Protein backbone atom coordinates (compact mmCIF):
# COMPACT_ATOMS: atom_id res chain seq x y z
CA UNK A 1 0.00 0.00 0.00
CA UNK A 2 1.43 3.40 -0.97
CA UNK A 3 1.93 6.14 1.61
CA UNK A 4 -1.03 8.15 0.26
CA UNK A 5 -3.26 5.07 0.33
CA UNK A 6 -2.11 4.37 3.89
CA UNK A 7 -3.00 7.96 4.88
CA UNK A 8 -6.41 7.69 3.25
CA UNK A 9 -6.98 4.34 4.94
CA UNK A 10 -6.18 5.90 8.34
CA UNK A 11 -8.59 8.78 7.63
CA UNK A 12 -11.27 6.28 6.62
CA UNK A 13 -10.70 4.22 9.76
CA UNK A 14 -10.87 7.31 12.01
CA UNK A 15 -14.08 8.63 10.42
CA UNK A 16 -15.66 5.19 10.52
CA UNK A 17 -14.68 4.72 14.17
CA UNK A 18 -16.20 8.11 14.98
CA UNK A 19 -19.52 7.16 13.34
CA UNK A 20 -19.64 3.75 14.98
CA UNK A 21 -18.68 5.13 18.39
CA UNK A 22 -21.26 7.89 18.16
CA UNK A 23 -23.90 5.40 17.02
CA UNK A 24 -23.13 2.99 19.85
CA UNK A 25 -23.45 5.84 22.35
CA UNK A 26 -26.65 7.17 20.76
CA UNK A 27 -28.21 3.69 20.77
CA UNK A 28 -28.44 3.85 24.57
CA UNK A 29 -30.90 6.71 24.15
CA UNK A 30 -33.36 4.17 22.76
CA UNK A 31 -33.38 2.43 26.14
CA UNK A 32 -33.78 5.79 27.89
CA UNK A 33 -36.67 6.64 25.56
CA UNK A 34 -38.41 3.35 26.32
CA UNK A 35 -37.97 3.73 30.09
CA UNK A 36 -39.14 7.34 29.96
CA UNK A 37 -42.21 6.35 27.98
CA UNK A 38 -43.04 3.68 30.57
CA UNK A 39 -42.61 6.28 33.33
CA UNK A 40 -44.92 8.71 31.54
CA UNK A 41 -47.59 6.03 31.14
CA UNK A 42 -47.26 5.03 34.81
CA UNK A 43 -47.47 8.64 35.99
CA UNK A 44 -50.41 9.43 33.72
CA UNK A 45 -52.55 6.37 34.25
CA UNK A 46 -51.27 5.13 37.61
CA UNK A 47 -50.93 8.40 39.50
CA UNK A 48 -52.93 10.79 37.29
CA UNK A 49 -49.87 13.06 36.88
CA UNK A 50 -49.06 14.59 33.51
CA UNK A 51 -45.92 16.34 32.37
CA UNK A 52 -45.55 18.15 29.05
CA UNK A 53 -41.76 18.36 29.55
CA UNK A 54 -41.48 14.58 30.00
CA UNK A 55 -43.62 13.98 26.93
CA UNK A 56 -41.54 16.40 24.87
CA UNK A 57 -38.33 14.78 26.09
CA UNK A 58 -39.41 11.53 24.43
CA UNK A 59 -39.68 13.44 21.15
CA UNK A 60 -36.24 14.98 21.75
CA UNK A 61 -34.74 11.54 22.39
CA UNK A 62 -36.45 10.09 19.33
CA UNK A 63 -35.17 12.92 17.14
CA UNK A 64 -31.67 12.48 18.56
CA UNK A 65 -31.64 8.73 17.88
CA UNK A 66 -33.12 9.08 14.41
CA UNK A 67 -30.90 11.94 13.25
CA UNK A 68 -27.59 11.10 14.89
CA UNK A 69 -27.75 7.38 14.18
CA UNK A 70 -27.98 7.96 10.42
CA UNK A 71 -24.19 8.04 9.98
CA UNK A 72 -23.85 4.93 12.17
CA UNK A 73 -26.45 3.12 10.07
CA UNK A 74 -24.63 4.15 6.90
CA UNK A 75 -21.26 3.04 8.34
CA UNK A 76 -22.72 -0.43 8.97
CA UNK A 77 -24.24 -0.50 5.45
CA UNK A 78 -27.70 -0.93 6.99
CA UNK A 79 -29.32 2.03 5.23
CA UNK A 80 -32.18 1.63 2.78
CA UNK A 81 -30.98 0.84 -0.71
CA UNK A 82 -32.99 0.02 -3.79
CA UNK A 83 -30.71 -2.66 -5.07
CA UNK A 84 -32.50 -4.31 -7.96
CA UNK A 85 -29.28 -4.24 -9.98
CA UNK A 86 -26.70 -3.40 -7.31
CA UNK A 87 -26.90 -6.71 -5.46
CA UNK A 88 -25.83 -8.57 -8.62
CA UNK A 89 -22.82 -6.28 -9.24
CA UNK A 90 -19.29 -7.36 -8.42
CA UNK A 91 -17.54 -5.67 -5.50
CA UNK A 92 -15.60 -3.54 -8.00
CA UNK A 93 -18.73 -2.28 -9.74
CA UNK A 94 -20.45 -1.70 -6.37
CA UNK A 95 -17.46 0.39 -5.31
CA UNK A 96 -17.90 2.54 -8.43
CA UNK A 97 -21.61 3.01 -7.72
CA UNK A 98 -20.90 3.87 -4.07
CA UNK A 99 -18.05 6.27 -4.86
CA UNK A 100 -19.95 8.12 -7.58
CA UNK A 101 -23.14 8.15 -5.50
CA UNK A 102 -21.23 9.58 -2.55
CA UNK A 103 -19.52 12.28 -4.59
CA UNK A 104 -22.51 13.24 -6.74
CA UNK A 105 -25.38 12.81 -4.30
CA UNK A 106 -24.58 12.14 -0.64
CA UNK A 107 -21.84 14.69 0.00
CA UNK A 108 -23.48 17.60 -1.88
CA UNK A 109 -26.89 16.95 -0.29
CA UNK A 110 -25.37 16.61 3.19
CA UNK A 111 -23.41 19.83 2.77
CA UNK A 112 -26.46 21.61 1.35
CA UNK A 113 -28.55 20.47 4.33
CA UNK A 114 -25.79 21.54 6.69
CA UNK A 115 -25.83 24.99 5.12
CA UNK A 116 -29.57 25.54 5.31
CA UNK A 117 -30.12 23.96 8.72
CA UNK A 118 -27.22 25.87 10.27
CA UNK A 119 -29.09 29.16 9.86
CA UNK A 120 -32.31 27.54 11.09
CA UNK A 121 -30.59 26.36 14.29
CA UNK A 122 -28.63 29.60 14.73
CA UNK A 123 -31.83 31.66 14.56
CA UNK A 124 -33.40 29.41 17.19
CA UNK A 125 -30.36 29.85 19.46
CA UNK A 126 -30.43 33.61 18.94
CA UNK A 127 -33.96 33.91 20.29
CA UNK A 128 -33.61 31.16 22.90
CA UNK A 129 -36.55 29.36 21.33
CA UNK A 130 -38.68 27.51 23.86
CA UNK A 131 -41.60 25.12 23.70
CA UNK A 132 -44.91 26.57 22.64
CA UNK A 133 -46.64 24.54 25.35
CA UNK A 134 -46.81 25.67 28.96
CA UNK A 135 -44.55 23.43 31.00
CA UNK A 136 -42.65 22.28 27.92
CA UNK A 137 -38.91 22.16 27.39
CA UNK A 138 -37.39 25.62 27.14
CA UNK A 139 -34.66 24.48 24.75
CA UNK A 140 -36.12 23.96 21.28
CA UNK A 141 -32.85 25.36 19.95
CA UNK A 142 -31.09 22.19 21.12
CA UNK A 143 -33.57 20.07 19.18
CA UNK A 144 -33.07 22.19 16.05
CA UNK A 145 -29.30 21.88 16.44
CA UNK A 146 -29.62 18.17 15.72
CA UNK A 147 -30.36 18.97 12.06
CA UNK A 148 -26.98 20.51 11.15
CA UNK A 149 -25.23 18.03 13.43
CA UNK A 150 -26.86 15.11 11.62
CA UNK A 151 -25.93 16.61 8.24
CA UNK A 152 -22.33 17.02 9.41
CA UNK A 153 -21.98 13.48 10.76
CA UNK A 154 -23.57 12.05 7.62
CA UNK A 155 -21.15 14.08 5.46
CA UNK A 156 -18.23 12.73 7.50
CA UNK A 157 -19.42 9.16 7.03
CA UNK A 158 -20.06 9.84 3.34
CA UNK A 159 -16.46 11.01 3.02
CA UNK A 160 -15.29 7.86 4.81
CA UNK A 161 -17.29 5.74 2.37
CA UNK A 162 -15.95 7.57 -0.68
CA UNK A 163 -12.41 7.05 0.63
CA UNK A 164 -13.08 3.36 1.32
CA UNK A 165 -14.46 2.81 -2.16
CA UNK A 166 -11.64 4.83 -3.73
CA UNK A 167 -9.12 2.64 -1.93
CA UNK A 168 -10.91 -0.47 -3.18
CA UNK A 169 -10.87 0.87 -6.74
CA UNK A 170 -7.18 1.78 -6.52
CA UNK A 171 -6.19 -1.82 -5.78
CA UNK A 172 -4.66 -3.80 -8.62
CA UNK A 173 -7.22 -6.12 -10.28
CA UNK A 174 -5.67 -9.24 -8.70
CA UNK A 175 -6.13 -7.76 -5.17
CA UNK A 176 -9.80 -6.84 -5.63
CA UNK A 177 -12.50 -9.02 -4.11
CA UNK A 178 -14.87 -10.61 -6.66
CA UNK A 179 -13.68 -8.49 -9.59
CA UNK A 180 -15.48 -10.38 -12.34
CA UNK A 181 -16.13 -7.21 -14.42
Write down the domain spans for the chain: 3-175
Q: Would you say residue 141 has pLDDT above 80?
A: yes
Give me Rg for the CA atoms of the chain: 21
Q: Would you say residue 156 has pLDDT above 60?
A: yes
Distance in angstroms (rounded) separating the CA atoms of residues 122 and 142: 10
Instruction: Give pTM, 2 decimals.
Output: 0.84
- Please enumerate, as own/partner, the contacts of 76-83 that have beta carbons within 8 Å and a separation of 24 or more: 76/20, 76/23
Q: Name the more confident of 179 and 81.
A: 81
Q: Residue 177: pLDDT band by 50, 70, 90 thresholds?
A: low
pLDDT (tens digit, 9 = 90+) per residue, 107-134?
A: 999 999 999 999 999 999 999 999 888 8
pLDDT of residue 119: 95
- Report the b/e string of 144-176 with b at 16+ CB within 10 A: bbbbbbbbbbbbbbbbbbbbbbbbbeeeeeeeb
pLDDT (tens digit, 9 = 90+) per residue, 71-80?
A: 999 988 777 7
Average pLDDT taken over every residue of the chain? 90
pLDDT of residue 6: 82
Q: Would you say residue 180 has pLDDT above 70?
A: no
Task: Report CA torsion sign: 133, 137, 141, 145.
Answer: negative
Q: Name the more confident of 4 and 157.
A: 157
Which is nearest to 165 in space by CA: 67, 92, 77, 99? 99
Give percent above pLDDT 70 in the chain: 95
Residues in the chain: 181
Q: Would you say residue 181 has pLDDT above 50?
A: no
Task: Report CA torsion sign: 120, 122, 124, 126.
Answer: negative
pLDDT of residue 178: 53
Q: Going by C-beta distance under 8 Å and a sequence separation of 6 or more, which residues neighbour residue 61?
A: 29, 32, 33, 36
Amino acid sequence: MSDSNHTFDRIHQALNAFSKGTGALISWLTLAMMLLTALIVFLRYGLNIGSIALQESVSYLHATVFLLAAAYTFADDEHVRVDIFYRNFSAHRQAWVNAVGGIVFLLPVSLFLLGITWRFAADSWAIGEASGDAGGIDAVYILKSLLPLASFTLALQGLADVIRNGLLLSRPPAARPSSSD
